[in-house]
Amino acid sequence: MKLNYHRTGEGPALLILHGLFGTWENWGAQIKMLAKDYDVIAADLRNHGESPHADDTGYAAMADDVLELMDHLSLEQAHILGHSMGGKVAMQLAQAHPSRVRSLIVADIAPVNYGAHHDQVFKGLFNVQLDGLKSRSEADKQLAEHIEIPGVRAFLLKNLQKDQDGRFVWKMNLNGLHQGYSSISSEPPAESPYNGPVLFIKGGDSDYLKQEHADAIRSRFPNARFKVIEGTGHWLHAEKPGAFNRIVERFLDDQA
């Protein structure tokens, strides 16, 4: 599995992992800021962006992909930052290979099973009729039948591209993600606790990271710290990039 990635900057290595339906390009504001002090590697996880497709959507496999990327880049250690699904991949990597993770930052996700959170999203995506699709605006109208929020539709439609014959196709492996969704929504496999420095950042208005998840987090990450960005939802790094960036920077500075 050769993950697609974008690399820029100099300094200690920092790997950034996106969430479900995302790509490395979702992290533009963070990459620009963090590349001043860090060697930033933002990856497309399997079945997303320009990375290969695969049937296995489990966290052990996705963490191994990231480990393979680190080996390919000769990175003995790296700070890891992950959002949502990418946060679960990061947690799995830290627990399974603690010596390779210098520190861990998890954005708005816990190591628990979330159930079916994305049913409407999948319905909307499958409602887009690729055969005969003429424009992105037409796709947006079809997506809107199931997804009301324009910003969510705009995010999802970043996965729409034209193939060499000029036909619209999904860049992500939509069928594979749907079939493997139970693995994606589940908790990462239990491993030994990761005793390194960990920061969990919660969107103040999000219901993904709750007080009831504290025991599950502490059992896996005994040194976890917590920050809340008020007035943000699950996409906290996109909604308030300045506040998110400052929190990440301060945490990473503490690890120097």
Question: Where exactly are the structural domains of the chain?
Answer: 5-113+186-254, 119-179
Can you tell me the mean pLDDT for 175-195?
94
Tokens of 89: 């991949």
The helix/strand/coil state of 51 is coil
1 and 65 in contact (C-beta within 8 Å)? yes
Say if CB 36 and CB 247 are below 8 A apart: no
* Torsions phi, psi for 246 (to 5 deg): -65, -40
- Per-residue pLDDT, averaged over 128-140, amounts to 95
Q: What is the mean pLDDT of residues 75-100?
A: 97
Which three-class secondary structure state does DSSP give residue 225? strand
User: pLDDT tens for residues 197-255?
Assistant: 999 999 999 999 999 999 999 999 999 999 999 999 998 999 899 999 999 999 999 99
- Residue-wise burial string across 141-169, b where 16 or more C-beta atoms lie within 10 A, e elsewhere: ebbeebbeeeebbebbbbbbeeeeeeebe
pLDDT score at 191: 83
Provide the pLDDT confidence category of residue 151 given band limits of 50, 70 and 90: confident
Residue 22, pLDDT above cutoff 80:
yes
CATH level 3 topology of 5-113+186-254? Rossmann fold (3.40.50)
Rounded-to-integer distance, Cα 183 and Cα 113, Å: 9
Q: What is the pLDDT of residue 133?
A: 95
Tokens describing residue 243: 């506040």
| Active-site residue set | 84, 234
Question: Do residues 19 and 237 touch, judged by C-beta distance below 8 A?
Answer: no
> What pLDDT is attached to residue 100?
98
**Above 90 in pLDDT, residue 95?**
yes
Residue 33: Cβ within 10 Å count: 19
- Distance from C-alpha of 24 to C-alpha of 223, rounded to nearest angstrom: 28
